[in-house]
A and B are shown apart, each in its own frame.
Chain A
Amino acid sequence: MAELGRAALLVTLGLSAYALVAGGYAAWRGRRRLAHSARNALIASFFSTLAAALVLVAGFVRDDFSLAYVAGHSSRALPTPYKLSAFWGGQEGSLLLWLLVLNAYAALAVWLARKRAKDLVVWVTPVLAGIALGFTWLLVAVSSPFDVIAAPADGSGLNPSLQNPYMVVHPVALYLGYVGLAVPFAFAMGALLSGRTDERWIVATRRWTIVAWTALGVGQLLGAHWAYQEVGWGGYYAWDPVENAALMPWLAATAFLHSVMIQEKRGMLRIWNVTLVSLAFCLSLFGTFLTRSGVVTSIHSFTKSSIGPWFLGFIVVAVVFAVTMIWLRLPQLRTTAKLESLVSREAAFLYNNLLLVALCLTILWGTAWPMVSEAVRGQTMVVGRPYFDFFLRVFGLPLLLLMGIGPLVAWRRASLRGLLRTFAWPAGAALATGVVLIALGAGSSIPGLVAYTFSAFVLATIALEFTRGTQARRALTGEPVPTAFGRLIGRNRRRYGGYVVHAAIVLLAIGVAGSSAYDSVTEGRLAKGQALTVGGYTLTYRSLGEREGANATEIRAVLDVRRGGKELGPLEAGKNAYSVEQQVSNEVGIRTDYLTGEDLYVIAEQVNDDGTVFFRIFVKPLVNLIWLAGLVFVLGSVITLWPDAREERRLATRYARAAERSDTHATT
């Protein structure tokens, strides 16, 4: 079996190398048939990678412990779903998943764009093949999942913290995101290589970017939810390097998604866009590097690995290549379109971009600071939570406000009078919200108050847009409200899907602000019958029990919860002691109030021999809006992604026009 896997990877290596060399030559010399064959090789390399992946899956399913990787990450007793997810439980399998996802994206992207963006695909093929070649090389020569050992009787099992439904889905979603950013990057580089620097590469990759960006966002939220429910320290994001690794490319991709609209509409920001997409892709390589090399002090990784230097090499090659290409094409990328006014849609998008990139780069600086300071001063320095929280507020709050302003400002030049008219209602709503919140005592946290006021403003603008659109449609067609509302969204999927995503981000902001700025916490050692009071809840420690679970001893403390004289029933919190792995894990008790989105969160930190328990209890207002935001986010993304025949026709004409312009440009 192992030979089959290794052979499949060797075939992939050959196909990728061929697609790179032949494809590059064909594109350079304009050999059409050779370019076709290179493209087909790239598509074929997906199938050979798939074969290799299936061999590894078969190894896990059949408990083939002669494969060192299977023996190291699985055991006979492991439930089948976790045998499948053990595929990406270690480094070699994760790399193989990376390559599989990359080749799937590559094959689909070049196949779907083969007619429309013919001249681009010719150049995109070698770029994608180059990326795939790098990863295949790692899998073949440096870190092979098909190393063979004398089969032990049983495998050493999968780490308990990975035996969790979240850890089945979360890594896959993240990888779909990281790797998906390779597609817009490859098309951007293809556009630069071919010298056709019009906006077609953007139009051709819009959906790919959104898919990758959505997957990356969902992956992070799943990770946050896992941390909140399973890790049990009372939070969901700790600015850990590995978490930042996923946040940074997401921020860069968010900036990119916005700035490409300016290029589509006004032909501006071309240099900026290719720079942003390169940044996003390089950051996703950097993210993989961080999680895989253990170079930064981090909760998740401490061990040194063999692939670190290789990854660093890849990142350097990618950066040098992107910078060189942008440098060489600077003359073609320059545009004549100028920003006409500082009060316009373009300007608002530009501010949005600057803030997003500033946030992204400050996070990068904070994440890389231990490495940088060690290299420069010989002393590793770490920056903590205050650093990141500070910049999240300084750049994040204005971003929130811009989310309300940007979509409603006119293109080119907005008049002050028009602005006043547009924003009278939302500004009023925001002010009213602010006043009410101060009356309710929300003034205890200024950033929280600002966040809520801005959130109200943005939600009001979104509601206003939906209402106005529906009314305009009703006036035009006489449709009833639900029909008009539905068709309004259906006819303008990008726009209204975008608003839904904005609403999701507002929900996220409200949830984050609520649970971080207005949470309450208390802690103390309780004997049976004693109680703690926090945030209006009174918790009385009732009893302590012990039961045997499937693979762990479960110790549970039972607390009676009361609020305002009303019994809310018992809540359990405790610890699981895993016998085989000799590991103890906190099992937190969470009581969700679905009406207010508030969580009561109980950690039984220490169970003492005399039956007393040290509890740490949080009340986290509105925290559930964060998870709700995830659902709304996906809904909005799906709306923008949903195929639209009318839009397809519009795009087809634009392609043709752009190609024409580009041709005349090339000949003159």
Chain B
Amino acid sequence: MIALSVASVLAVFLLYTSLAGGGTPSVSPSQLATKTGEVALAGKVVGTPTGDPHGAGMRFVVEDIDGTSKQRATVLYKGSVPDMFRTGRDVVVTGTQDANGLFVTKPGSMITKCPSKYQAADTPS
């Protein structure tokens, strides 16, 4: 009986993961070139964002968070902008890269990484 229940739970789980796939790949700006389809792009905001996120869209540039690569990506974003968003912050946006290399996001998909609450001791805030 227990084995049966466990098996059915497992079946539901496998059914879901096989239908929905293994989630969205999470990539850094330097890995973006090799990816097609929907990805979660994690990067650090550099430069000044321009444009209206509630109008034609806001454009900003991100680079690798760990700073190992200087390769950058330009993001076109529409929708809610979290409080924490500004130059120098780490953000994650979900979307796809278009033919011109512009990363077009799903509206409202931005998550900011709050580096404050659980920061390591040696990182100045």
Contact = CB atoms under 8 A, between A and B. Distances in A.
A306 interface: yes
Contact of B12 (A379, A380, A394): A394
B23 A362 contact: no
A233 B22 CA distance: 27
A606 B53 contact: yes
Interface string A363-397: 00000011001000001111110110011001100
Nearest to A576: B83
Given A350-B2, A354-B9, A614-B54, A291 B121 contact: no
B40 interface: yes
Contacts of B90: 302
Given A232-B83, A358-B9, A294 B120 contact: yes
Given A68-B121, A143-B121, 8 more contacts: A233-B80, A291-B118, A294-B120, A354-B2, A380-B25, A383-B22, A582-B86, A583-B84
A161 B83 CA distance: 11
B118 A300 contact: yes
Given A232-B83, A233-B82, A606-B54, A301 B23 contact: no
Interface string B87-125: 000101010000000000000000111111111110111
Interface size class of A (residues with CB under 8 A): 35 or more
Interface residues of B, number: 45
B125 A297 contact: no
Given A92-B121, A143-B121, A303-B119, A379 B1 contact: no
B81 A605 contact: yes
A391 B27 CA distance: 26
A582 B26 CA distance: 29
Interface of B: 1-2, 5-6, 9, 12-13, 16, 20, 22-27, 40, 42, 52-55, 65, 80-84, 86, 90, 92, 94, 111-121, 123-125
Contacts of A391: 13, 16
Interface centre among A292, A369, A373, A380 (most CB of B within 10 A): A380
B65 A302 contact: yes
A297 B42 CA distance: 9
Contact of A302 (B23, B94, B113, B124): B113
A242 B114 CA distance: 12
Contact of B16 (A305, A342, A390, A523): A390
A68 B83 CA distance: 29
A298 interface: yes
B5 A301 contact: no
A304 B24 contact: no
Contact of A387 (B9, B23, B42, B124): B23
Given A161-B117, A370-B26, A380-B26, A299 B112 contact: yes
A395 B6 CA distance: 12
A168 to B, nearest CB: 14
